Each structure stands twice: as structure tokens, then as C-alpha cells.
Chain A
Amino acid sequence: ETGVTQTPRHLVMGMTNKKSLKCEQHLGHNAMYWYKQSAKKPLELMFVYSLEERVENNSVPSRFSPECPNSSHLFLHLHTLQPEDSALYLCASSQGDRVGKETQYFGPGTRLLVL
């Protein structure tokens, strides 16, 4: 595997379900990001991790819970989501001494539909 991978690529879940999105980067980067991409809206930054430590939490509802067990893996745990949470969730990674400043490399995304 190369670059940034995300699984699953598509996910349909009910509002009472619990699921997790997984992201893995194979680039040796030290920072990872979660973004939400909704139709007709700019990408919204959700979380930023640098060296496995959360450095940014952009007022995201608690039904989204990130986890970064090591610098190569990032998870987004989902529970009791709402239909408006349906979107494309993108993971990205970057390398540098200033989080967010370096070029970010994106994964293919997980298309989430909440029923």
C-alpha cells in the first residue's frame, strides 16, 4: 500500500449504530487530519493530530470521537449520528515541524450515509 488509505470506502449506518472509520498513512508523516466534505460546502477540518496528540478539535460534536494510536493510524469512531452527518470523510497526513503548514496528502475518503 502506498500513500494514504481509508476503509471502508462506503458506509451506510442507522442513527443508533456504532461504526469506525480507519485511516492509514504509509508516508512516514507525523501529522494526521480528519475532514468532512459535504455537498456544496467547503472542506471542514474536524481534528488534527501531531505525533499522536490531538492539537485541534474544531468544535465537532461528541458523537464523533477520534483516536490516533500511532503516527500511522487514525480512527474516527461514530455513534448515534444524524442524517446531516452524511458526507465524505477525508483523512490526510503531512510531515513537518509546523502542523497544518506542510502539504497535506489525502486519502480517497469514506462516503457515509446515515439513515
Chain B
Amino acid sequence: ELKVEQNPLFLSMQEGKNYTIYCNYSTTSDRLYWYRQDPGKSLESLFVLLSNGAVKQEGRLMASLDTKARLSTLHITAAVHDLSATYFCAAHEASGSRLTFGEGTQLTVNP
């Protein structure tokens, strides 16, 4: 059974700082997603990573995938308050039909 672990689960950072959220998964996955959820809102897809070494960037967020280490990272550059949200990674098990989510990282960016 595929398990997905994120860390940290809670992250409080100052505006302008950089930080990385880590996502480890336990078995072979053929794609890795990052989602964002604002309080009281639904999940919004940010990135999908399909292959080893894949890197995608959108604004201050950059996601990468290392399939050998079964690790994805979401790097935040020069954080701004608008990035405050909960970020989920989710891995698709190569042999199955389901997406397994991590617990989420609750990010708070303070002025």
C-alpha cells in the first residue's frame, strides 16, 4: 500500500524567506501532484511531476521529483503572505487507480 508523508506539517515563516516542504512516498509511483488548499476552499492543482528529475516552477513555487529517492520537494522562494495555505502532495500508485494524499503542510507566512 502506498503511503505518503509530508514534513513539516506546520510551517510558519516570515515574508521574504525561503523554505522547502518535503514529500516522501513508500512505493513506486508514476506521478506526483502538489495541491493547494485555502481555508474553507477546495483543493487547487499546482503541479504534476511525471518523471525522475522533473522540475516545474510557477511564480515563487518550484516543485521537483526524485523517483529513486521517492521524494518530491516544494520550494518556496521569497515567501509572501498570499502563499499562506495548506499544501498537499499526492502520489499515484503505478499499478492502481487511486491517488494517495499526504497529511498536508499548513503554511503561514507572516509579515
Contact = CB atoms under 8 A, between A and B. Distances in A.
A41 B98 contact: no
Given A58-B98, A100-B98, A101-B30, A42 B103 contact: yes
Interface string A82-115: 0000000010100000111101111111000000
Nearest to B3: A42
Contacts of A92: 43
A109 B97 contact: no
Contacts of B97: 48, 55-56, 98-101
A12 interface: no
A56 B98 contact: yes
B43 A106 contact: yes
A45 interface: yes
A56 B93 CA distance: 14
A101 B45 contact: no
Contacts, number: 51
Chain B: interface secondary structure?
strand
Contacts of B45: 103-105
A103 B96 contact: no
A102 to B, nearest CB: 9
Interface size class of A (residues with CB under 8 A): 20 to 34
B4 A103 contact: no
Contacts of B43: 43, 90, 92, 106
Nearest to B41: A108
Contacts of A106: 35, 42-44
Interface in B85-104: 88, 90, 92, 96-104
Interface string B55-76: 0000000000000000000000
Contacts of B98: 45, 48, 56, 58, 100
A108 B101 contact: no
Given A42-B4, A90-B42, A108-B42, A100 B103 contact: no
